[in-house]
Amino acid sequence: MNAHTAFPSGRPVVLRGGTVLTMDAARTVLESSDVLVVDDRVSAVGPDLSVPVGTAEIDARGGIVMPGMIDTHRHMWQTVMRGYGADWTLTQYFVWNYLEHGKHFRPQDVRAGNTLAALEALEAGVTTVVDWSHGLQTPDHAEAAVEGLKSVPGRYVLAYGNIQQAPAEWSATPEFRSFVERHRGGDLFDLQIAFDVTGDPSFPEKPAFEVARELGLPVTTHAGVWGATGDNSIKLMHENGFMGPETVYVHAASLSDDSYQRIAATGGSVSVSTESEQSAGQGYPPTWTIRRHDIPVSLSMDTSMWWSGDLFSAMRSTLSADRSREHLEAQRQGNTVTHSALRAAQVTEWATRGGAAALGRDDLGRIAPGAKADLVLIRNDDSPVSFPILNPYGHVVFQAQRGDVHTVLVDGRVVKYKHRLVDADLAAVRADVGATVDYLRSTIGEQEWAAGMNPDIPESKVLDNPYTYTDYRDASTHAG
């Protein structure tokens, strides 16, 4: 079947015979079942469905059909610098992007990064991404970000931000209001406002919150980032009435119980970026503690400047980090964990329906009649890891990877088929990204470029060991 001719607009599509993760409230799994898509919606789910004449069929036997995954926090403009900061700390990330070289990004560089990131997301089965776009230094940068996203057939929320100006400044401009008026409120593209709260008692971010409230824009903010945003930030937001169900707190990894209680009481949710929290140092990935407060969770990847850009990695690392902490806390008290509290099904829910809830989209993140047809088929007949599928949720979290994504639909449109993106001009994207890298490299300079990628390694000292012999072989010979 040729993807270019088999899936014309308006033609129904049915995925036949797969294991379907419905992600309903009971996390129901349907074996050997079909999913029928008509227009932009799931029309029916079940075994041996009757379908309209002319429906395109996709063989899902031996595979898993799940809702499209949702990433609630990704700095997409930074994807042109893929892997550059692999050895950074959070401090080095801040210096490079905020104080030094992030300001060199031109509008076309933001567009190139967003286009590449959007394709990367789709290829991995991530059908909705919140672009935490804090590199929008000018209105032209903002328009370029939109162009990049809309050039790729995914579902996006642009979280508008500008790290080069105070939130109260850029959010008050007529250009920002005009941008919001032009771009808000779409099904495939919508807006949030993105900025952080420093904890300054004068609360300089208050005017930005007031603009967000006036315009009806949800706020997403990096909270609980060690050394940057902490409990004072949450307290200021809460005491001034700027915490609500639509607020998304990214990381939330170094907060007190009091702050978690404020988030829980106001109905907010947390976007957990486990690879980021583990490596950069915002705090220990917080699911092990926020679960106790019953705070809703979604997952995110943060930035491909550092880490992977798929939610398989997010699910795997999140479940592992949570269990590691659970064991550690128990063992500190001399106890043994005999049953894991967090399960693979719950983490899969965070990657799908959890993201939908954070965005206020009940029509996403689940497979049921009437839901939006954002779907992923995990099937790889060429991989020995693709069988047997005994525990579908465990398979998704610990066995599957982006290379196993066979088919992706967004809004009923087939955008990836047989492991290949449909109508993606990767050569053109590669050329644009290459031009951006060449420009940044020449602007920064070769010496600074190399130094930024390879920060100095701190000096270390091996601890004295009282059990070290001058010659342990000799000592062992004379033992006893």
- Residue 79's pLDDT band (boundaries 50, 70, 90)? very high
Q: What is the pLDDT of residue 473?
A: 61
Q: Which residues of 136-166 are buried (b: 16+ CB within 10 A; e: fewer)?
A: bbebebbbbbbebbbbbbbbbbbbbbbbbee
Q: How far is CA 317 from CA 123, 140, 379, 390, 399, in A?
A: 20, 37, 22, 21, 13
Cα 290 to Cα 459: distance, rounded to the nearest angstrom: 36
> Which amino acid appears at position 308 of this protein?
S
Average confidence score pLDDT of the chain: 95
**Residue 472 confidence (pLDDT) above 80:** no
359 Cβ neighbours under 8 A, 6+ residues apart: 70, 72, 128, 130, 157
**pLDDT tens string 316-365:** 999 999 999 999 999 999 999 999 999 999 999 999 999 999 999 999 99
Distance CA 126, CA 418 (A): 16
| Sequential DSSP letters for 249-313 | EEE--S--HHHHHHHHHHT-EEEE-HHHHHHH-S-S-THHHHGGGT--EEE--B-TTTS---HHH
CB 218 within 8 A of CB 243: no
- Interacting residues of 357 by C-beta distance below 8 A, sequence separation 6+: 269, 296, 298, 365
The pLDDT of residue 260 is above 80 = yes
The pLDDT tens digits of the residues spanning 367-409 come to 999 999 999 999 999 999 999 999 999 999 999 999 999 999 9
Mean pLDDT of 461-472: 76
The angle, 0 to 180 degrees and rounded to 10, between the axes of the packed helices 231-239 and 257-266 is 40
Proportion of the chain above pLDDT 70, given as a percent: 96
The β-bridge relationship of strands 56-59 and 13-21 is: parallel
Place of tokens 């390879």: 454
- Average pLDDT for 90-102: 94
DSSP for 389-448 reads: -SSHHHIIIII--GGGEEEEEETTEEEEETTEETT--HHHHHHHHHHHHHHHHHHH-HHH
List, for residues 149-166, the tens digit of each pLDDT value.
Answer: 999 999 999 999 999 999
Predicted confidence at residue 319, as pLDDT, reads: 98
> What pLDDT is attached to residue 81?
98
Is 2 a residue whose pLDDT tops 80?
Answer: no
In which band, very low, low, confident or very high, does the pLDDT at 475 lie, cut at 50, 70 and 90? low
Structural contact between residues 379 and 63, judged by C-beta atoms closer than 8 angstroms = yes
Which range (4-8, 255-259, 272-276, 346-350) has the least confidence? 4-8
Residue 476 has pLDDT above 70, yes or no: no
Pick from 158-162, 182-186, 246-250, 472-476: least confident? 472-476
